[in-house]
């Protein structure tokens, strides 16, 4: 089983970037080492019933101590780039002072990546908010946006030299809505008002940080990463079409529209006014400043039917389709469709697929991991990106999620997304079939 692209695919050209991605809380462990402060995810993990099996991030992949081995592994996979995130609680103390040890960790890591000739794609915020900020209201408090700018100032000033691309945020939808509205991620609150206000403050923080990042790191690209779902109506009934539109407005347009068009979706003003945040004059101009790229994370599609109370409800696809181990439908055609639709709906900046991948029930047998479903998934989705490029979407890169199995948030360690298998007893990494197949695709370019 292989991953292959048409011979003349633009994705095989030297200017297309292939990479692997991770995030700080999911791999680093060492969450009390060298002055790292508590994050909302440490607190959430310590709250009974929030994370499967009571798993936490105290060890994760122990990347904080094994980063040198991991840089070798990344390089061995033959990728052009590595996408990582920085843990805010490692970098700064409560008074806004730099934590030198935290800075030293990322400095040595970034230098080692650059020494291998790898491009570095760094996300400032992949969900690990310092707990002391949550104690003052977290993202529901507008002040947090200004604290983020201070953190962005420090990170980009100290580390900008070794960073090719900065993303302010990973998936504001998850950070705000899963965290403050659905309550399934940290900090675990359940109010639509909080969720949407948190989202607005995250977007505001993004906009406020843009000029600061550009000033400190003038040679880097700057953008933001959104997760996007392709939503289908469960049937051709008008009410189900409406349900899908509402869902799409809440999950996708609520985030991309203010960034690219400077306003929140008009549809929501009419049908879900309590799902719109309080916006101060000037906020949307700050949010909609130009960005160098838009990152998109894609995993699956969903199907929605009308519900009298909630307007929409998730239902399973009525067709016979394949699901991954986390129960997400495998739908590569939805990926190209989504990209092509967005390209019609918006004036898109250059796009990067900053995450795409599958959770599979991987089993290690005789030192080998046969994850053929993941190989097929990657092949299908990489070709879906190719289809979107053929249809005119400006996509410059693709990152597989993830370099290695890691802490999968509310699912703990039960779900494995890695191209490399992690034995959590020994911390041994083993390249899976998908990792070998990805490497083979990348080396075939030369």
Say if residues 275 and 261 touch (Cβ distance below 8 Å). Answer: no
Q: Which stretch binds ligand GBH (CB under 6 A): 136-144, 171-179, 212-220, 420-428?
A: 171-179
Reduce the DSSP state of residue 356 to 3 states and report it: strand
Token readout for 363 is 């089993």
**Residue 88 annotated as lining a ligand binding site:** no
**Residue 408 annotated as lining a ligand binding site:** yes
Give me the residues paired with residue 294 across strands.
224, 351
Residue 402, preceding peptide bond in cis (omega within 30° of 0): yes
Residue whose CB is less far from ligand GBH, 84 or 204: 84
**Residue 162 annotated as lining a ligand binding site:** no
Token readout for 127 is 């969900």
The mark string for 25-64 relative to ligand GBH (x by CB under 6 A, - otherwise) is -x--------------------------------------
- Please tell me the distance from the alpha carbon of residue 97 to that of residue 176, in angstroms, as a whole number: 26
Residue whose CB is less far from ligand GBH, 162 or 299: 299
Residue whose CB is less far from ligand GBH, 299 or 306: 299
The mark string for 176-215 relative to ligand GBH (x by CB under 6 A, - otherwise) is --x---x-x-------------------------------
Say if residues 356 and 399 touch (Cβ distance below 8 Å). Answer: yes
Residue whose CB is less far from ligand GBH, 355 or 362: 355
Say if residues 202 and 281 touch (Cβ distance below 8 Å). Answer: no
List binders of ligand GBH among 310-369 (CB under 6 A).
Answer: 355
The mark string for 210-229 relative to ligand GBH (x by CB under 6 A, - otherwise) is -----------------x--
- Please tell me the distance from the alpha carbon of residue 162 to that of residue 156, in angstroms, as a whole number: 10
Does residue 171 belong to the site contacting ligand GBH (CB under 6 A)?
Answer: yes
- Please tell me the distance from the alpha carbon of residue 249 to that of residue 183, in angstroms, as a whole number: 20
List binders of ligand GBH among 249-278 (CB under 6 A).
Answer: none
Residue whose CB is less far from ligand GBH, 383 or 406: 406
* 281-300: burial string, b at 16+ Cβ within 10 Å, e else: eebbebbbeebebbbbbbbb
By CB under 6 A, name the one of 174, 351, 385, 395 that touches ligand GBH.
174
List binders of ligand GBH among 391-420 (CB under 6 A).
Answer: 401, 408, 417
Say if residues 348 and 294 touch (Cβ distance below 8 Å). Answer: yes
Residue with nearest beta carbon to ligand GBH? 227
Give me the residues paired with residue 98 across strands.
92
**Residue 131 annotated as lining a ligand binding site:** no
Does residue 23 belong to the site contacting ligand GBH (CB under 6 A)?
Answer: yes
Burial of 410 (0-12, 13-18, 19+ CB in 10 A): middle
Minimum CB separation of residue 408 from ligand GBH in Å reads 5
351-356/395-401 β-pairing: parallel
Which residues in this chain contact ligand GBH in the complex, by CB under 6 A? Answer: 23, 26, 170-171, 174, 178, 182, 184, 227, 297, 299, 355, 401, 408, 417
Q: Give the residue numbers of the binding site for substrate.
A: 26, 126, 170, 299, 401, 408-409
């Amino acid at each position: 089983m292989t991953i292959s692209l048409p011979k003349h695919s633009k994705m095989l050209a030297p200017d297309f970037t292939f990479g692997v991605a991770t995030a700080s809380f999911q791999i680093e462990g060492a969450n009390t080492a060298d002055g790292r402060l508590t994050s909302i995810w440490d607190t959430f993990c310590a709250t009974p019933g929030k994370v499967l099996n009571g798993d936490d991030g105290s060890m994760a992949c122990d990347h904080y101590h094994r980063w040198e081995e991991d840089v070798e592994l990344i390089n061995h996979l033959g990728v052009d780039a590595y996408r990582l995130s920085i843990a805010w609680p490692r970098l700064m103390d409560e008074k806004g002072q730099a934590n030198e040890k935290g800075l030293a960790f990322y400095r040595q890591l970034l230098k080692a990546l650059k020494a291998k000739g790898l491009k570095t794609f760094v996300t400032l915020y992949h969900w690990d908010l310092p707990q002391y900020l949550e104690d003052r209201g977290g993202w529901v408090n507008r002040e947090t946006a200004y604290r983020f700018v201070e953190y962005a100032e420090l990170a980009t000033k100290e580390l900008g030299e070794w960073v090719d691309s900065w993303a302010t945020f990973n998936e504001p939808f998850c950070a705000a809505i899963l965290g403050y509205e659905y309550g399934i991620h940290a900090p675990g609150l359940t109010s639509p008002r909080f969720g949407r206000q948190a989202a607005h403050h995250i977007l505001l923080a993004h906009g406020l940080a843009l000029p600061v990042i550009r000033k400190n790191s003038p040679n880097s690209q700057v953008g933001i990463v959104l997760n996007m779902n392709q939503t289908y109506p469960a049937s051709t009934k008008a009410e189900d079409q409406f349900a899908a539109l509402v869902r799409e407005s809440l999950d996708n347009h609520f985030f991309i529209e203010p960034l690219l068009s400077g306003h929140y979706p008009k549809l929501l003003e009419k049908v879900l006014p309590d799902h719109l945040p309080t916006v101060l004059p000037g906020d949307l101009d700050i949010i909609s400043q130009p960005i160098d790229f838009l990152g998109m994370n894609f995993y699956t599609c969903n199907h929605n039917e009308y519900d009298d109370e909630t307007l929409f409800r998730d239902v399973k696809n009525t067709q016979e389709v394949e699901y991954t181990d986390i129960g997400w439908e495998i739908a590569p055609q939805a990926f190209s469709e989504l990209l092509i639709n967005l390209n019609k709906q918006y004036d898109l900046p250059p796009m990067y697929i900053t995450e795409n991948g599958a959770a599979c029930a991987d089993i290690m047998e005789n030192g080998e991991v046969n994850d053929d479903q993941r190989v097929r998934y990657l092949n299908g989705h990489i070709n879906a990106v190719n289809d979107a490029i053929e249809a005119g979407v400006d996509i410059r890169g693709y990152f597989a999620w993830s370099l290695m199995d890691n802490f999968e948030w509310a699912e703990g360690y039960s779900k494995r997304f890695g191209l490399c298998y992690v034995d959590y007893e020994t911390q041994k990494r083993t390249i899976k079939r998908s990792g070998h197949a990805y490497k083979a695709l990348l080396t075939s370019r030369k």
